[in-house]
Chain A
Amino acid sequence: MIKSYKARRTVANTLIYVILTILSIIWILPLVWIVMTSFSGEEATFIDHVIPTSWTFDHYIDLFTNTKVFDYPRAFLNTLIISIFSCIISTFSVLMVSYAFSRLRFKARKPFMNVAMILGMFPGFMTMIAIYYILKVVGLSQNIVGLIIVYSAGAALNYFISKGFFDTVPKALDEAATIDGATKNQIFWKIILPMSKPIVVYTVLTTFIAPWTDFILAKMLLRDATDQYTVALVLWNMTDKEKVDTFFYNFCAGAVIVAVPITALFLKMQKFYVEGITGGAVKG
């Protein structure tokens, strides 16, 4: 009996190994392919074999030196600036909103949360035209400053996960601190925030990555201001059907350059990400 159970388990485990290995390959292959293609020395873009016959580093060099049509280094710098600032502002904004909704009690709390939820159900693209004109009034359309503001402004609506986290922190902590004479301000900064590392890291991570991956808002707001373009926008333009023939290898190289740091960052911070969403999801 025990033997057959053991045997069955070995069979099951082997099967799982096989399945997981196949799946892992399926998941990793496109990524391997893009890295491989970015080093391809082939002259034609669309070829009838998968593995390039020659290799080169030129596409990376070209990406940073041939900036006439697509100014990748500039776009990279723009995106970095946007993501640093919007990350700082968004993180504070998300944490403040979620903290207020989770641990402070005030009359407008429920209505505010309902409004935030309702707003989340309109398609985001719907408002972009109006946002463009609002920014234009204050002279920030077609400008990365405008992008920073809009990214940061929208971030607070995604408070659910970090609110879920704050909900799990015991209320007794606040009560004890209040008895000791701490103000709510002090409780937030000195007690709750220091013990909320997972959610802080999670928020920083997600808000930092957002500008690297969004292209539609950037496209709507920046329009013909090519010197303000973000990486996502440049890469997207490279795959335009009239350009892809010439720029496909550069696209691959550009995508690898963006993806590598983000992937590294993500893998390193994975633990916090998982804790963030799990903690948030358990409590809703």
Chain B
Amino acid sequence: MNYIDYVQLNPFQKFVYKLKSFFMAIPGALAGFFKAVGKAIVAFFVGIGNFFKDYANNFAVGGLATKLSYVIMGAGCFLNRQIIKGVLFLAMEVGFIAYMVGFGGGYLSQFGTLGTKEAYTGLDDFGMPVKVEGDNSMLILLFGTLTLVIIVLFIYLYILNIKVAVNNEKTVKAGNRPNTILQDLKLLLDEKFHVTMLAVPTTLISCFTILPLIFMILIAFTNFDHDHQPPNQLFKWVGFGNFGDIFISNQLYAQTFGKILGWTLIWAVVATFSCYILGVIVALMINKKGLKCKSIFRTCFVMAVAVPQFVTLLLMAQMLSQSGVVNVILHNLGWVDQPIKFLTDTSNPTMAKITIIIVNIWIGIPYTILSTTGILMNIPEDLYESARIDGASPFVQFMKITLPYLIFVTTPQLISTFVGNINNFNVIFLLSGGGPSNVHMYQAGETDLLVTWLYKLTMNNNDNNLAAAIGIIVFIICGTLSLITFNNTKSVKDEGAFG
């Protein structure tokens, strides 16, 4: 079915078609995913095989410079008058060895046990309690991870060093002179410009996103909870134990997880689509032809985007509290007798959920207006023209032209909003703090999302292992959803991230 056919369907058919194609796509997407993973694994091992073949081969056929650079990095550069490059390589090797001996090696050797000596408090000869430090499992894990990352980087550099040596040898054999440092630098501004552009961001992301992420993923496989807190206590590897607890064995965790997951998904769907659809409607109203004062209306809404979100949320939380201004107004109007507990009613948690969704609409609509106004104006006018001639009512026009067009163009944005809502920490944390409390949940309240539960587990209860496991589950949910929808969306197919 192509776009034209699709547009001609009625809304219900469209919905069915969308739904059908969504579910039809799941097996395909999953199969595609596993195929890709499989391919990647095969490619990885083939790559390793090839590497060792080349590794041995290059050593056998290589000249002195090449052979030497198998032991002394940079030798292939020194012997070919690339002094600066050679010094850099050599410095890397020396630095790496120094790091491993002085710092990383020690941590890496304890990586398997995460430490064996527990800290304790003893007494000195004056009867003063003195802390005797033991191993710190968390630092062992963190620096062990860092060391592993550094080893991988070093292996990459090592291979690069051999490659450079081999290439230099080839160049010399062909009677040319290997690149000087100036020539190399020039390359960085032209053919290899991407290296220049990406070097700093990649380094920063590796240090502050990837490394911490690996660390936290590893924590999901330890028992780093409130009873095993470094530096006073040790923690150790427990395999998939935490996932087992969350899903099955620990009834309280499993029950809490189930409830929170359900609400997280409901929240994400409702929050995403309510803001989207209502926002589009308001945007259409504002952009209606012949309407005056457009900019005044728009400014009113844009103000809500411009004011920092945490300010509006904190404000709303105060306004909606039991003694807040909303209850005061309702009371003064004589509409309510007892104040309404918008966000804290334990016996009626649905109230809090609805309140949060409404506040979220207040926050979300202006974003939709901002992001769709331009697109709305881009819809070809003749589409509407012909629809009008056919006698289509504005509602039909909206359902048949505007919405499909918008969804077609903004699907990627919708997906990222959806993922963003699954991870929407601010709205929940600042508005209700997860409340109202529910006595049947572990460290969580009725409106907690997985992410706010994750926060509470780490910050209030120091259950880092559970938090990390939940983080991984959130990732799997978001990843699966995006994978399926992205692969199934036309507008991303030409330039999708998952190619």
Contacts and interface: CB of A to CB of B under 8 A. Distances in A.
The answer to whether A and B interact is: yes
Nearest to B473: A123
Interface string A201-214: 00000000100111
B190 A185 contact: yes
A97 interface: yes
A80 interface: no
Interface string A200-230: 0000000001001111100000000000000
A99 interface: yes
Interface centre among A23, A47, A167, A279 (most CB of B within 10 A): A23
A236 interface: yes
Contacts of A97: 197-198, 201
Contacts of A235: 310-311, 314
B290 A13 contact: yes
B135 to A, nearest CB: 15
Contact of B370 (A106, A160, A183, A273): A273
Interface stretch (A53-61, A70-78, A256-264): A256-264
A134 B318 CA distance: 36
Instruction: Give the secondary structure class of A's interface.
Output: helix
Given A33-B319, A118-B479, A126 B454 contact: yes
Contact of B471 (A99, A100, A123, A266): A123
By Cβ-Cβ distance, the 5 closest A-B pairs, closest first, are: A278-B374, A130-B212, A266-B306, A153-B204, A127-B212
Interface residues of A, number: 97
A134 B425 CA distance: 23
B495 interface: yes
B410 A281 contact: yes
B479 A121 contact: yes
Contacts of B498: 114, 117
Given A27-B366, A153-B204, A267-B302, A48 B331 contact: yes
Interface of A: 9, 12-13, 16-17, 19-20, 23-24, 26-28, 30-31, 33-34, 46-50, 93, 96-97, 99-100, 104, 106, 109-110, 112-114, 116-131, 133-134, 149-150, 152-154, 156-157, 160, 167, 183-185, 188, 209, 212-216, 232, 235-236, 239, 244, 248, 251-252, 255, 258-259, 262-263, 265-267, 270, 273-275, 277-279, 281-284
21 contacts: A16-B291, A34-B311, A48-B331, A49-B332, A96-B201, A104-B194, A122-B475, A126-B468, A126-B471, A127-B215, A129-B212, A153-B201, A153-B207, A156-B204, A184-B189, A213-B308, A216-B425, A251-B314, A275-B374, A278-B375, A281-B409
Contact of B193 (A160, A183, A239): A183
A58 B176 CA distance: 79
Interface stretch (B54-62, B158-166, B321-329): B321-329
A26 B362 contact: yes
B399 interface: no
Interface stretch (B65-73, B111-119, B253-261, B281-289): B281-289
Interface of B: 138-139, 142, 186, 189-191, 193-194, 196-198, 200-202, 204-205, 207-213, 215-216, 282, 285-286, 288, 290-291, 296-297, 299-312, 314-319, 323-325, 328-329, 331-332, 362, 366, 370-371, 373-375, 378, 394, 409-410, 412-413, 416, 419, 423, 425-426, 429-430, 450-451, 454-455, 458, 464, 467-468, 471, 474-475, 478-479, 482, 491-492, 495-499
Given A26-B362, A130-B211, A284-B495, A236 B314 contact: yes
Nearest to A95: B197
Given A19-B285, A121-B478, A110 B318 contact: no
Given A96-B197, A117-B497, A183-B189, A255 B311 contact: yes
Interface centre among A127, A188, A252 (most CB of B within 10 A): A127
Contacts of B325: 33, 50
Given A28-B300, A134-B208, A274 B373 contact: yes
A157 B315 CA distance: 30
Interface centre among A49, A121, A131 (most CB of B within 10 A): A121
A93 B305 contact: no
B302 A30 contact: no
A235 B312 CA distance: 12
Given A28-B300, A117-B497, A281-B409, A157 B209 contact: yes
Nearest to A156: B201
B216 A130 contact: yes
B193 A114 contact: no
Nearest to B422: A123
B215 A130 contact: yes
Given A20-B297, A123-B451, A125-B451, A156 B205 contact: yes
B467 A126 contact: yes
A121 B198 CA distance: 21
Given A49-B328, A97-B201, 16 more contacts: A13-B291, A30-B315, A31-B307, A49-B332, A121-B419, A124-B423, A125-B425, A126-B454, A131-B212, A134-B212, A184-B191, A251-B314, A262-B307, A267-B303, A267-B306, A281-B375
